[in-house]
Amino acid sequence: MLKRKIESVLVEWKTSGSKKPLVIKGIRQCGKTYIVQKFAKENYESVVYMNFILEPDKKSAFYGNIDVDTIILNLSALIPGSRFIKGKTCIILDEIQECREARTALKSFQIDGRFDVIATGSLLGVKGYGKSAKTTEDGQDSIPVGYETVIEMYPLDFEEFLWANGINDNVIDSVKSCFENETIVPNGIHKVMMDLLHRYIIVGGLPDVVNTFLETKNIELTYKAQRNLIAEYEEDMVKYADDADKPRIRECFESIPTQLAKDNKKFQYSVVRKGGRSSQYIGSLQWLEDAGIAKRCYNTQITELPLEGNSIKDCFKLYTTDIGLLVAMLDYGTQADILKGNLLGYKGAIFENLMADFLCKSGQKLYYFQKESGLELNFLVRYNGECVALEIKAKSGKTKSLKTALKNKNVYHLNNAIKLGQYNVGREEEILTIPLYMGFLIQDRLTDVIVPDIDLTLLDRICSVQDT
């Protein structure tokens, strides 16, 4: 059984007293259904479950009147033995993107407040692709804005992968301490963590793949599990896309390894297809993002916060959200090369996508910086309240761009940078050097800020003076 961080999120949602239905979206096969059912069984007296893909007949419960009493009556008829106990029942609406009426009904459940509702969706941004995101065929808004809480679930991140491999919190806390205090990781821990990182690179975090690897330790069987999931994703591309876009989405997806293998990893439509243009493929890229398969990393105009406000929307790289997907798309045998530490032939593409995996799964957006002069910073992040550059190195090497940016603070406004590679913790002036496996720790943690009370007596004094 895989331990997942989202379990604590679910507990917090239940104990918060919020009656807003919870909507969990995420890439297909990231573990949504399993974790929601597990949570519901452990925390509720009664669980009512339906899957709108496997049980399309359940959609009829939400047709017509969508008041809760009518819905409950319909579900009672459709699901024999179902029990609806006020305050003790969890209703699970799995694959809710298949039933827009159920999505609309979430508002009724929120207002009613008798039952907790959790909905999941693998393709919430994709279902109805080519139509308005908010408007149904009859012109009605199907998304109950303000009446639901939406969170995104990802495949296992590196820390969850460590848990799955039997690494306890004491070891992880030790690594975190070395990162925070900038101290060398003991050699024994460092070696084990690097070995586990290489396994994470070839396996990724999709639960079925992780379980296959843990049970068999067989790379071929792990690879087959990955390829089966990729085949499912490609089937979705055909099933949910408009006819004209079906080949384009697949072309964009299959071009990712080639795009990242280039010295200039900027996404180029001509690489997808000779003569390809933005107008042909921009919707396809959005499809891949909405499906949770890929994530764009935007170039920024300047190396300053806010990164989103300074991003260039038509200049970006494209990474897979799960590192295992990228590796499974490469030549068969790549996995064995990685385990041997032979990565130099991939020009840093794997390690860059690994860092994108770390950042995506911690909920961060992706940014980089590149000038026509050739100066490039692999990633820019908000860390400790400031803009920090990340440099990813497949091997020890020069960091000319990074040093140039730090030296010219009047131009780039960077005070600190982090270099990640196959080495231990160290520091060279403004550059903190850390091993690649510490990448999952690079998150901006906002300190608690207490907003002081406003002294309203000042207004009374001013008013008193004016009155006199």
Nearest CA to 322 out of 292, 344, 347 is that of 292
Which pLDDT belongs to residue 405? 96
- pLDDT tops 50 at residue 156: yes
Q: E strands of 242-333, at which residues?
A: 294-300, 311-320
Percent of the chain with pLDDT over 90: 79
Determine the number of helices (DSSP H) and then strands (DSSP E) in the chain. Answer: 19, 14
Backbone angles phi, psi at 55, to 5 degrees: -130, 70
Which pLDDT belongs to residue 460? 75
Query: Within 13 A of 421's CA, how many CA atoms are on the CB side?
Result: 19
- pLDDT tops 80 at residue 394: no
* 400 vs 133: which has the higher pLDDT: 400
Which pLDDT belongs to residue 1? 81
pLDDT in tens, 91-103: 999 999 999 999 9
Q: In one letter, which amino acid is 376?
A: E
Work out the pLDDT band at 19, boundaries 50, 70, 90. Answer: confident
pLDDT in tens, 416-463: 999 999 899 999 999 999 999 999 999 987 555 577 888 888 787 777
pLDDT in tens, 34-71: 999 999 999 999 999 999 999 999 999 999 988 999 99
Rg (CA), the chain: 25
Bridge partner list, 431: 417, 428
CA-to-CA distance for 182 and 176, rounded, in angstroms? 10
Work out the pLDDT band at 135, boundaries 50, 70, 90. Answer: very low
162, 196 Cβ separation under 8 angstroms: yes
34 contact partners, CB below 8 Å, separation of at least 6: 207
Virtual torsion, Cα 360, 355, 378, 268, nearest 10 deg: -70
Q: In one letter, which amino acid is 285?
A: L
Backbone angles phi, psi at 41, to 5 degrees: -65, -35
The domain defined by 6-152 carries CATH number 3.30.390: no
CA-to-CA distance for 33 and 50, rounded, in angstroms? 11
pLDDT in tens, 191-245: 999 999 999 999 999 999 999 999 999 999 999 999 999 999 999 998 877 777 8
Q: Quick check: helix, strand or coil at residue 418?
A: strand
Q: Which helix (H) or strand (E) holds 77?
A: helix 68-78
Q: Residue 108 has which token pair?
A: 């009724």
Domain positions in the chain are 6-152, 158-366
Which pLDDT belongs to residue 347? 64
Provide the whole-model pTM. Answer: 0.92
Q: Quick check: helix, strand or coil at residue 3?
A: coil
Q: Which helix (H) or strand (E) holds 136?
A: none
